Structure 1
Amino acid sequence: MAKTEQGNGLDMRGGRDKLTDNGKAGGWPGSDPEANGSPIIPGENQVDRYGFTGGAHAEEIPNEVLRQRETKWLDMLNSWDKWMAKKHNKVKERCQKGIPPSLRGRAWLYLTGGKVKREQNWGKFQELNSQPGDPKWVDIIERDLHRQFPFHEMFAARGGHGQRDLFSVLKAYSLYRPEEGYCQAQAPIAAVLLMHMPAEDAFWVLVQICEKYLPGYYSSGLEAIQLDGEILYALLRRGAPVAHRHLKKHKLEPILYMTEWFMCAFSRTLPWASVLRVWDMFLCEGVKILFRVGLVLLKCMLGSQEKLKSCQGLYETMELLRAIRPQYMQEAFLVQEIIELHVSEKDIEKEHHAQLRRWKESRGDLHCKSPPRMHGAKAIMTAEPPGRQYLKERPSIIVYSPLSSGTDGDRAEERGKAKEGKQIPSSPEEANPYLPPIDPSPLLKHTTIDGSRVSLSSAEHDTYL
């Protein structure tokens, strides 16, 4: 399908596969892919801490602080279910502070429930990758590979391991959800994930984002993103009335400026340090974080009459929103504004029902029946069944003690009686140490054998490890 090579965002005229190149000046490295797919390496080929060539060097976190955070996160990850069940607010607080880079991929996998999903579908990713794929989607995916972060060392080389993994993840998803196929906005999402985890993990996190966090976003018709655009517009009326009146005056529809923001989870809009912080919170708390980011940017750019002097028309307003001022996207400022903005899941759901009612009155029923949206990691963990079960089942194999008395003939006779269903009385003098206790209480006993059973049972119950 032909792609529009000008402007930013999604070209809605030709369908959902029209995600255009983001060519704004002053963007983060990799946001301006070359038309021929061969990125021009700027500067002295220096790679920043995020893997971008010629990128800005973000403020470093002191090593001591980083080590402390890593220790805390390792403790959480090793007892993930318990932390999520009993100390979810602490998990949320630590996500707001930023996940340590060395553990970000693992944390995202746990937050989204991707690890449980992977264990429930063991081998599925390899099975999907062994299939050729739908030629229609394969062709579009192949043409989109070079557009994803071409200034990042992982995706700079055509046919390199980064592009190969990206192709595998996107092709696998198009086969996993053939009714959806492939949407171009999924490519930057998958690319960000691949920067932090192996391809199989990235695939399952992508599945969770598409099914739980942003259901319906990548389906034909883009109805879900249009509904969320109306929700954003309604929330703006309450939080930034000046900006709302300006957009309403010039009839600037939300779909024109928020589509790329939300469908790409701001990965093509914000500086990279801010992208990662937003994703840490988004994957923990859900889509309300994307709404908060959008509201903060709109309020900062259009929230006062003084700021509106430079954009008196629709075109000027669009240009302003395509070139967000750097100070409003700066990591510390943006994160603080997001945390302080009071937009909750209830606010979003209330407005969702109102907008859905208006949609049905004016357009009829939605064509795409999406599953309900999950608002963050806690909701996903609560709703999904565990990937593993307690190891409470008794072993089905009877092990005869080598210490038991009797000849081989006696033992053969006992086995014959057991087959006939006859009970063999046990000798009270000799307990079989190889058989499990009749009424095991692994949480109360502390023998060597029972202690190992406690450890195994605990590890198996923690389904997010």
Structure 2
Amino acid sequence: MAQSPGEGSMSPSASLRGTRETLSSDPELESLGSDSEINGFPPERRTDKYGFLLKSDVDGALPEEVPVDVLRQREAKWLDMLSSWDKWMAKRHKKIKLRCQKGIPPSLRGRAWQYLSGSRVKMDQNKDKFDELDRMAGDPKWVDIIERDLHRQFPFHEMFVARGGHGQQDLFKVLKAYTLYRPEEGYCQAQAPIAAVLLMHMPAEQAFWCLVQICEKYLPGYYSEKLEAIQLDGRILFSLLRKVSPVAYKHLSKQKIDPILYMTEWFMCAFSRTLPWSSVLRVWDMFFCEGVKIVFRVALVLLKYTLGSSEKLKSCQGQYETMEKLKAIDPKYMQENFLIGEIVELQITERDVEREHLIQLKKWKEEFGELQCKSPPRMHGAKAISDSDPPNHKPLEHSPSIILPSNTSAIKKTREQKQMEKEQEKQRAKVAKEREKEEKEKKKLEKKKSKGKGDQSNGNVKEENGGEGTRDHRQEPVQPLVPKQNLKDTLKVHQSNESLCSKESEDTYL
């Protein structure tokens, strides 16, 4: 059976086995965040609007910002969406997609990422799970590696600048909790910048569940030991490049540059260590909404504008020059306004990604055999995640001041239930009418019978009022319905009532 990549030297990714501990072997990157560099900042540190430290006033030049009134309008729209998220996701997902492409307001970005990724539902389903994992000791092997990586994650951000500060403490908690939550995967260094970006926008527990969703739904298998999923996506990227930029595809094929050599950090870190920060946040907004196709689009745009013309290829005739150019992409192609527009316009859909996935998976099996990493299927964005895991929460719901008992009509009924109840009421009304008719008919029959019996008895029995009718002595004497004593009493009462009435009339007359 063919050997799996990462085990033998036949695979171009054999050198990536150390990626789980050292994603980048650059010594300068390893030294970032050292005490000597951090101490080079003045006591009164200045930061940009994203929280990154500035060394001089020149660094404080801000990119184009959204006008305040437009930002306030977007905030109001997002608050309205978040207050009834399930309805928007079910019926107006396209509108959510358009608003993510415009950019989520900074004040609501963290909350929106949680709702888009489904991590809020996941957290509600696993209450107190993060606290339980946080109290556990953790595997010493992973704890040691995580501690060595903490100071490398965005060392010039105010949240992570201090060794042992609250930012690094929360980052350690999140990464350690994931190794306990998924011990079969453990820890990969590329997870650290992902978790750090999340911690810049939300508390530790929420960042943990958001990381879980990224690793399980958006990028499943990316952080497994053999890195098979990222190698497979490298092949998918290279195949899609033929459609987007044939010139760049031919050049990379001619130079025999495997995609894994330049796209590993792009994909595994979701461009958080590649693009300017404003572009990173915009890409993540769309990534959480639309899924991994956004990561493919970013990579294809960068390859197209870096190697997509004969003029640009003049300066990179060899393999080394090509790799150097891909490591130092022209900043103008990574700027927010240019990059986001190109990403939106690029016609690469999840269907294209899945079709290429099936093709490359078949080729992989022919070359290396079955995948050793059995990761769950990839979800393409917020809509697919929401459909696969129905929400059981009611976000931003007002607490009522008056709570009605549970047996009242507070529970909303569906249309089918209402129709069923109406039909049942109609049937009950019909049955009641039929019963009334039957009862009326019975009463009529009884009256007729009673009249017939009364006529027969009057013909044979002499009336007590002095009638001269002949009486049949064979019949039993007819007894009055009321006893004689009672009859006398009633007569007395009747007489007294009449006398009283006559007295009253006399009084009134006088």
Q: TM-score, normalised by structure 1?
A: 0.80
- Distance (whole Å) between structure 1 residues aligned to residue 411 and residue 336 of structure 2: 51
Q: Does 1:100 align with 2:105?
A: yes
Match of 2:24 in 1: 20
Check whether the contact 1:285–1:377 (CA below 8 A) recurs between aligned residues. yes
Give the one of 225, 228, 232 matched to 1:227: 232
Aligned pair in 2 of structure 1 residues 242, 84: CA closer, same or farther (>3 Å)?
Answer: same
Q: How does 1:5-84 map to 2 (within 5 A)?
A: 12-20=16-24, 34=32, 36=34, 38-40=36-38, 41=40, 45-54=45-54, 56=60, 57-84=62-89
- Out of 399, 407, 419, the position equivalent to 1:436 is 407
What is the CA deviation profile of residues 280-313 of structure 1, one whole-angstrom value per residue up to 9, with x for unaligned ones?
A: 0000000000000000000000000000000000
* Superposed displacement of residue 379, structure 1: 0.2
Does residue 1:213 correspond to 2:218, yes or no?
yes
Structure 1 residues 37 and 143, CA gap change in structure 2 (3 angstroms): farther
Letter in 2 for 1:204: W
Which residue of 2 is the match for residue 372 of structure 1?
377
- Cα distance change, pair 108–332 in 1 and its aligned pair in 2 (3 A): same
Runs of 4+ in 1 over 6 A off after TM superposition: 21-24
Work out the CA distance in 2 between the residues paired with 1:386 and 1:81. 7
1:322 alignment partner in structure 2: 327
Q: What's the counterpart of residue 429 of structure 1?
A: none
Distance (whole Å) between structure 2 residues aligned to residue 126 and residue 245 of structure 1: 52
- Alpha-carbon spacing, 1:252–1:127, altered in 2? closer, same or farther (3 Å): same
Could you tell me whether the CA contact under 8 Å between 1:98 and 1:277 is conserved in 2?
Answer: yes
* 8 Å CA contact 2:221, 2:373 repeated in 1: yes
Q: CA deviation at 1:387?
A: 2.9
Q: Which residue of 1 aligns with 2:96?
A: 91
Gaps of 5+ in 1: 1-8, 25-30, 390-432, 445-465
Equivalent-residue separation in structure 1 for 2:33 and 2:301 (angstroms) = 32
Residue 318 of structure 1 aligns to which amino acid in structure 2? M
Amino acid in structure 2 at the alignment position of 1:49: K
| Structure 1 pair 97–365 and aligned structure 2 pair: CA distance change class (3 A) | same
Amino acid corresponding to residue 436 of structure 1 in structure 2: N
Amino acid in the other structure paired with 1:69:
R
In the other structure, the counterpart of 2:164 is 159
Q: Which residue of 1 aligns with 2:271?
A: 266
Contact 2:33 2:156 in 1 (8 A): no
Aligned residue identity for 2:380:
H
Q: Which of 172, 184, 187 is equivalent to 2:189?
A: 184
Give percent identity, aligned residues only: 68
Rounded Cα–Cα distance in structure 2 between residues aligned with 1:47 and 1:17: 30
Cα deviation 1:384-421 (Å, max 9, x = unaligned): 133359xxxxxxxxxxxxxxxxxxxxxxxxxxxxxxxx
2:19–2:189 Cα contact (<8 Å) kept: no
CA shift in 2, pair 1:338/1:101, >3 Å: same
Distance 1:251 1:212 in 2: 32
Are the equivalent residues in 2 in contact too, given 1:10–1:16 (CA < 8 A)?
A: no
Letter in 1 for 2:52: F
Deviation at 1:333, TM superposition (A): 0.2
What do residues 84-116 of structure 1 show as CA deviations (whole Å, max 9, x unaligned)? 111100000000000000000000000000000
Does residue 344 of the first structure (1) align with residue 367 of the second (2)? no
Q: 1:316 to 1:123 in 2, by over 3 A?
A: same
**Distance (whole Å) between structure 1 residues aligned to residue 413 and residue 335 of structure 2:** 50
Distance 1:257 1:435, change over 3 A: closer
Task: Give the whole-Å Cα distance in 1 for the aligned partners of 2:175 and 2:15.
Answer: 21
Work out the CA distance in 2 between the residues paired with 1:440 and 1:52. Answer: 50
| CA displacement, residues 189-226 of structure 1 (integer Å, 9 cap, x when unaligned) | 00000000000000000000000000000001000000
Going by fraction, where is helix more abundant, 1 or 2? 2
Q: Quick check: 2:118–2:385 contact (8 Å CA) kept in 1?
A: yes
Following superposition, the deviation at residue 13 of structure 1 comes to 4.8
> CA 1:265/1:441 → structure 2, altered by over 3 Å: closer, same or farther?
closer
Distance of 1:35 and 1:107 partners within structure 2: 30
* Contact 1:22–1:268, Cα closer than 8 Å, also in 2: no
